[in-house]
Amino acid sequence: MKIAVVGCWRFSKHPAGSERNIHNLIHWLRHYGVEVSEYYTTEGGDINDTLQNASVAIFSAWTTGLSELLKTARQRGIFTMIRMHVPKASCMDQCDGILWHNQRQRKIRAGKPDYVLYSIPIPSEIMARTHQRKYLTITNSCPNKGGKIFKEIVKIAHRAKLPYQFLAVKSSWTGKKEYESVDMDGLCKVIDPIPPHELWSITRILIAPAKKESCSNAMIEAAYNGIPCIGINTNSFREIYGPYGGIPLPANATIRMWLMAIKILETHYAIEVKKIARFKHDPRFQPERVKEFILWLNRRL
């Protein structure tokens, strides 16, 4: 079986969440012997070359010109799936199946073929190689990921002279204000994006204040490294950290509630780390899930 994977950006060019999902999927498909061809709209070229001899085409939901690309694949008789983590009604009925990123959205496409496959970590890319964990980290400091809330947390902690070290990773997006980094005004350490294994080597607690966007890949990678998380009580938080600890907060949580959560987590840090260590054995996040997906595809074709 040959699978064509179609997205907007190559992960090495734009290391964001949707690109990470596709990157991880390609890795594990090849690991299990599947031939994979790739097409990225930002790189140009002819998609027909990518679709040549493919029996399945998997599209990122955020691909530019998705409807036309889907039509091209379906005209060739290729089984099409869209990889998504939130409903995207404009394209859901134009494909043969939805490859859900999480469990809680599965039943939205009632009565049509779908499959649930979480983003499976690649240990060689995300596992910390040293342990100098001292920072309370936000992995993307743009407003949509909670950058403004993070800044307020840092500001109040700094004013109260609390003994915490904060780290903000700049957004890799430009051109849209809601995706550009929030200026931290020198209140904490700010860095450009670095390889995940380096980031998790220095992160003590993941701060995930996003109210709408999930930060699910960051949560998966942090949990895989045994790093506790304080975050808004979203579906992603409940699915990833819910069985293993962490501190969920309501969307309207005050800065005082955030600081109290940090204090509680620091007080019980060793216990939280021990609980989260079990995440690595969660069957939902094991490579064997991709193998099961391949078998499911073979039955569908």
CB 245 within 8 A of CB 300: no
> From CA 17, how far away is CA 209, in angstroms rounded?
16
Same domain membership, residue 103 and residue 56: yes
pLDDT in tens, 26-82: 999 999 999 999 999 999 899 999 999 999 999 998 898 999 999 999 999 999 999
Mean pLDDT of 273-277: 95
pLDDT in tens, 83-136: 987 766 567 788 898 898 877 655 555 555 589 999 999 999 999 998 899 999
pLDDT in tens, 173-212: 766 777 789 999 999 999 999 999 999 999 999 999 998 7
Same domain membership, residue 79 and residue 18: yes
Check residue 13 and give its pLDDT.
Answer: 87
Same domain membership, residue 270 and residue 135: yes
Same domain membership, residue 293 and residue 149: no
Q: Among the listed ranges 86-95, 143-152, 153-162, which one has the minimum average pLDDT value?
A: 86-95
- The domain total for the chain is 2
Same domain membership, residue 254 and residue 170: yes
> From CA 300, how far away is CA 34, in angstroms rounded?
16
In this prediction the pTM is 0.91
Check residue 293 and give its pLDDT.
Answer: 97
CATH code: domain of residue 161: 3.40.50.2000
Q: Could you tell me how many residues make up the chain?
A: 301
CATH code: domain of residue 102: 3.40.50.2300
Same domain membership, residue 105 and residue 19: yes
Higher confidence at residue 13 or residue 276? Answer: 276
Domain, as residue range, for 115? 2-120+286-300
Instruction: Reply yes or no on whether the pLDDT at 235 is more than 70.
Output: yes
Amino acid occupying residue 116 = V
Same domain membership, residue 102 and residue 217: no
Check residue 88 and give its pLDDT.
Answer: 61
Same domain membership, residue 258 and residue 144: yes
CB 215 within 8 A of CB 192: no
Same domain membership, residue 247 and residue 108: no
Same domain membership, residue 128 and residue 84: no
Check residue 103 and give its pLDDT.
Answer: 72
Same domain membership, residue 277 and residue 178: yes
User: What long-range pairs does 269-275 form, CB within 8 A, spacing at least 24?
Assistant: 269/204, 269/228, 272/228, 272/245, 272/246, 273/226, 273/227, 273/228, 275/244, 275/245
E strand spans, the chain: 2-7, 35-40, 56-60, 79-84, 97-100, 114-116, 135-138, 165-169, 189-191, 203-208, 229-232, 247-249
Check residue 16 and give its pLDDT.
Answer: 82
